[in-house]
Structure 1
Amino acid sequence: MDLSSPALLTASLSIGYVPLTDAAVLVVAEDLGFFARHGLRVALSPAASWAGLRDRVAYGALDAAHMLYPMPIAAALGLVGPAMPLTVAAGLGRNGNTIVLSTALAQEMGDAPMPLAALRFAEVARGRNLRLAVVHPVSSHNYLLRHWLESGVLDPDRDVTMSVLPPPAMPAALASGAIDGFCVGEPWGSAAVLAGAGRAVVASGDIWPDHPEKVFVFRASAAAAEPQAAIAATAAIIAAARWLDEPANHPQAAAILARHAFPSLDLAAITPGLGGWVPEPDGGTRRLSHPLSFREALPPHMAHAAFWLSCMRRGGHLPAQIDQAQALAPWNNDLFLRAASALGEPLHAPTPLPTESAA
């Protein structure tokens, strides 16, 4: 169903994203004309870091953006800067991150099977204060990496040094020896492996299978001012997710991403993440049990947001008292439900939550 109307034909939106494979939904929607088909003119704008992207939304430079699942919670509570009401329109992907260790460190693991057991990593890491990087403090990368370390009886706050780096900076930091490992979204893990800097030893889907990863969000004021445009943009996202989950479309999707999001990367670094593979240092590839996927991630589930809120609490990222209703207010689902109804998109069931020990 086409949601365009004479009024929408002049609607324009500025949408930001961090260059990652799970931003493909946005990039494909623009390149293949899904936004235009729904009556929208869209200006896509890459951001080097999650913090920079958040600031551009906060100051009104962007109407909407690709965000880490826990970020709207932090924004709603004003954990960094003033409180910023957001509206979550759709999920943008599930799985898609890898833990990559430096080549030297990976070699110390010997012939340990992949995905690497946390206890095996702990045998090598304990007492060395290894330096591990994540993309943002309030991210699935941080919380899942911390859980993996804890499952190996390592204390993430004492046994390793955790730092924050923008995703595109990770491969160079690993190659230079500034860090010993990282958790990042594709294609930056594959890029590091292909550059000879490291080995992908664990995928985030190995820690929480099919975990929700990113969301498409609007500034609440922008969605309220142009509700039909916000619904139309969400419909375009749904159409792009459907297209991306067809394996036959992955080569074209990789080429689109290479042109728009990753002009400095070879297709060899971009393609594996779309197909559910990671490259190995010996030139081979390894199939992931829980690869990046798009369509079943579309419905934004409050249960998932509540789980990430519990991770934020355990990670010490929340004050003692919070208004949980305020924290979860971005997940009202109105935009998604209206767009999904127009397109006949089913409401995919939420991924089961991890056990309490992962919270």
Structure 2
Amino acid sequence: MNIAGSDRPETETLRIGFMPLADCAPLVMASILGFDEKYGIKLVLERQQSWSAMRDRLTNGELDGAHALYGLLYGLQMGIGSAPRDMAVLMNLNQNGQAIVLSRAVAAAGVKDGAGLAALMREQPRRYTFGHTFPTGNHAMWLCYWLAAAGIDPLAQMRLVTVPPGQMAANLEAGHMDGFCAGEPWSRRAVMEASGALVAPSSQVWPNHPGKALGARADFVARHPNSCRALVAALLDSARWLDASATNREAAAEVLASPAYVHARVDLLRACLLPRRGDFPGLRFFGEGEATFPWLSDGMWFLTQQRRWGLLRADPDYLGVACAVNQVELYREAAALAGVDVPDGLMRSSRLMDGRVWDGSDPVGYTASFAIHQRDPQALRA
């Protein structure tokens, strides 16, 4: 595809940060398969070691965009833990593909769900330690939601610690934690190597929940709309390719195993990308365009949980913030370039594990409905 004239990318080389996780696959395969060049751009992928480093490099301009935690981008927008910075969500990169894992000792005590953990905490009271990957991020929110649904106050009754995803399994094996929530392949590594036991896939908390987002600074998007449009179109092609066949997923596992990308065993990545029947739900990259769409309600949900756990001192303008951050119109234009259907609405409806329905219609009421919450800033800021 030749991009010329007024649609020509303002900059052809885009520096994109990614974390060594299975859900970086759309970025990696877009670069490997030349989907970026099809739209007149070249992706320079830069592997990061922690979400905090990713955040800093994205905000200081060393990166043009990033494979980022959805909640991290909204935390930056709201100034949680740093000065507020206008951010952009260009598209969703995946759904599902995270998990909550328990240590061998906790699993051996018979814990098979949240209720079992609550019972163990009553029988053997102490300060249990659970890991997540970033205070405002997805894994912290899934973990807190899962604990609270079982009647456990995550901030009052738990010690929550931030650990880079690639270090989760080792810390669990060493006995430093009783459990963690992280993305693939590191949750599955702990299970396959028997350092831990799966207690809940993140899809149990919220089926087909938003995963990583393609994030950028809002000012970069404003200056480079054509480049960003081309980037989204390339990643839509890549996501569609990943979901097209098991053969494509197999090839992606081989590529991701490289030290340049995830640097994990091929069989581990195959298990993430090609889950067996009866296994916990695998990564969903395309879903006929439904999985990639930047739903306003997805972004608003992270705000409700950041408010719930005291990271926000007051209810924000939930819809207004989501409209500012999620670049729906740019996504629509990119989808037209890539020949991808776009949903009619801006909100979607989901039933979460506690029976609550989230559809974005009443975020203030939804946030106030939780019996377990912490409205004053506390442990999650650590």
Secondary structure class of the residue paired with 2:159: strand
After TM superposition, give the deviation of residue 332 of structure 1 in Å: 3.3
Matches within 5 A, 1:337-356: 337-348=332-343, 351-353=348-350, 354=352, 355=356, 356=366
Matches within 5 A, 1:201-220: 201-220=199-218
Structure 1 residues 140 and 3: CA distance shift in structure 2, 3 A: farther
Matches within 5 A, 1:6-155: 7-8=8-9, 11-109=12-110, 116-126=112-122, 127-155=125-153
Does residue 294 of structure 2 align to residue 300 of structure 1? yes
The equivalent residue for 2:279 is 287
State the AA in 2 paired with 1:5: A
Secondary structure class of the residue paired with 1:212: coil
Structure 1 residues 21 and 79: CA distance shift in structure 2, 3 A: same
Matches within 5 A, 1:170-185: 170-185=168-183
After TM superposition, give the deviation of residue 117 of structure 1 in Å: 2.6
State the AA in 2 paired with 1:47: Q
Per-residue CA deviations over 1:286-327 (Å, capped at 9, x if unaligned) read 512x43201132110111111111111001111236454663
Q: Percent identity?
A: 32
Secondary structure class of the residue paired with 1:287: coil
The equivalent residue for 1:272 is 271
State the AA in 1 paired with 2:164: P
TM-score normalized by structure 2?
0.84
Per-residue CA deviations over 1:221-276 (Å, capped at 9, x if unaligned) read 2222221111101000100110111223111010111123222x211221111123
Secondary structure class of the residue paired with 1:249: helix
Residues of 2 paired with 1:76 and 1:346: CA distance? Answer: 29
Structure 1 residues 3 and 327: CA distance shift in structure 2, 3 A: farther
Structure 1 residues 351 and 129: CA distance shift in structure 2, 3 A: farther
State the AA in 1 paired with 2:275: G
Q: Choose 332-341 or 53-62, whichever is displaced more.
A: 332-341
Residues of 1 paired with 2:315 and 2:236: CA distance? Answer: 37
Secondary structure class of the residue paired with 1:193: helix
Per-residue CA deviations over 1:188-212 (Å, capped at 9, x if unaligned) read 0111223331112210001111111
Do the aligned partners of 1:205 and 1:291 also contact (CA within 8 Å) in 2?
Answer: no
The equivalent residue for 1:113 is none
Secondary structure class of the residue paired with 2:90: strand
Do the aligned partners of 1:9 and 1:40 also contact (CA within 8 Å) in 2?
Answer: no
> Over aligned residues, Cα RMSD in angstroms?
2.1
The equivalent residue for 1:315 is 309
The equivalent residue for 1:256 is 255
After TM superposition, give the deviation of residue 9 of structure 1 in Å: 9.8
Do the aligned partners of 2:22 and 2:262 also contact (CA within 8 Å) in 1?
Answer: no
After TM superposition, give the deviation of residue 65 of structure 1 in Å: 0.6
Residues of 1 paired with 2:82 and 2:138: CA distance? Answer: 21
The equivalent residue for 1:281 is none
State the AA in 2 paired with 1:309: L
Residues of 1 paired with 2:228 and 2:100: CA distance? Answer: 35
State the AA in 1 paired with 2:312: L
Gaps of 5+ in 1: 111-115, 278-284
Do the aligned partners of 2:87 and 2:325 also contact (CA within 8 Å) in 1?
Answer: yes
Do the aligned partners of 1:9 and 1:39 also contact (CA within 8 Å) in 2?
Answer: no
State the AA in 2 paired with 1:11: E
> What is the number of equivalent residue pairs in this alignment?
344
After TM superposition, give the deviation of residue 163 of structure 1 in Å: 0.9
Secondary structure class of the residue paired with 2:230: helix
After TM superposition, give the deviation of residue 42 of structure 1 in Å: 1.4
Per-residue CA deviations over 1:167-198 (Å, capped at 9, x if unaligned) read 11111111111111100000001112233311
